[in-house]
Structure 1
Amino acid sequence: MKRICFLMIASTALLLSSCSGVSSQKVTHATDEMIRKQVLFFTDDENLTSEIPYYDAILELKSKHPESLKHLKVVNARSSEDQPVLDKTPDSPAILVIEDNEVICEIEGSTNKNSIVKPVAQAISHWYD
């Protein structure tokens, strides 16, 4: 009886101690992660017609700055999964250019393609091209 209790306690302790290292690594990694260079596009599945200028702008930016737009990340505004930690989440549609954990360019709401392309291109022009 003592052996069974000892085995149960030892196996539980071993199991719990082996799991704690994995979860603390993920938390540390997530909180220490720094966004060096990234373009975020906030989209909403229910508002696709107002996003047409954004898609056109992204296509033009990809053709002019292909290396910089490799850092494009599409974020669904309605989903809590994979949301970046921001002080204020923009209304979609929106494009944010982030460099060294700071938003250096933000375009939000209904606008035309040129009003998106010009400031974003200026913000990312020194990255790689």
Structure 2
Amino acid sequence: MLFRAAIPIVITILVLSGCTLSTISPVKKSGVDSIHHTQILFFSDEDHIDKEVPYYDALLDLEKDYPDHVENMKVYDDKKGWEDEIETVPTLMVVDQSHVVVKIEGCVKRKEDIIKPLQHVLAK
């Protein structure tokens, strides 16, 4: 009789000893998640500024038609915190309502290749 009562207790102890308390780590938030309006972001690299000339030329041209957007542009000198969105520097992207709507990365030869996609988004 004692044997029959001990079996469920031993089984319960064995099952419960296999359980561990785990902590729930918070979900890593992306930098994009914090932007709720149209925002231009530029990720620069001082060591390779020669690759950024078409980006600067494009931004100067865009400033004529979209002065508020260019004036409020955020410039970053590294991609810390943006690793999920940025693969290489330089990168220029437009974020709207927590979504990347345009992203131009790396070496671009002509400023027109930057201006056209940005005009399309900023004109809305």
- TM-score range normalised by the length of the shorter chain: 0.5 to 0.7
- Alignment gaps of 5+ in structure 1: 1-29
Q: Please list every run of 5 or more consecutive structure 2 residues that lacks an aligned counterpart in the other structure.
A: 1-30
SS of alignment partner, residue 74 of structure 1: strand
Q: Secondary structure at the match of 2:47?
A: coil
Deviation at 1:34, TM superposition (A): 3.6
Counterpart position of 1:107: 104
Match of 1:74 in 2: 75
Q: 1:71: how far off?
A: 2.8
Whether the 8 Å contact between 2:35 and 2:96 is mirrored in structure 1 is: no
> 1:86 and 1:99, CA in 2 relative to 1: closer, same or farther beyond 3 A?
farther
**Which whole-Å deviations, capped at 9, do the CAs of 1:55-98 have from their partners, x for residues lacking one?**
000100011111222331111126x4xx5x56332311110000
Give the 5 Å matches for 1:42-61: 42-61=43-62
Q: Give the helix-richer structure, 1 or 2.
A: 1
Q: Give the counterpart letter for 2:116 in structure 1.
A: K
Runs of 4+ residues deviating >6 angstroms: none
Structure 1 pair 99/50, CA: closer, same or farther in 2 (3 Å)? same
Per the normalisation by structure 1, the TM-score is: 0.63
Aligned counterpart, 1:90: 87
Per-residue deviation, residues 32-52 of structure 1 (Å, max 9, x unmatched): 844321000110010000100
State how 1:108-127 maps to structure 2 within 5 Å: 108-111=105-108, 112-126=110-124
**CA RMSD of superposed structures (Å):** 2.1
Q: How many angstroms apart in 1 are the aligned matches of 2:88 and 2:98?
A: 20
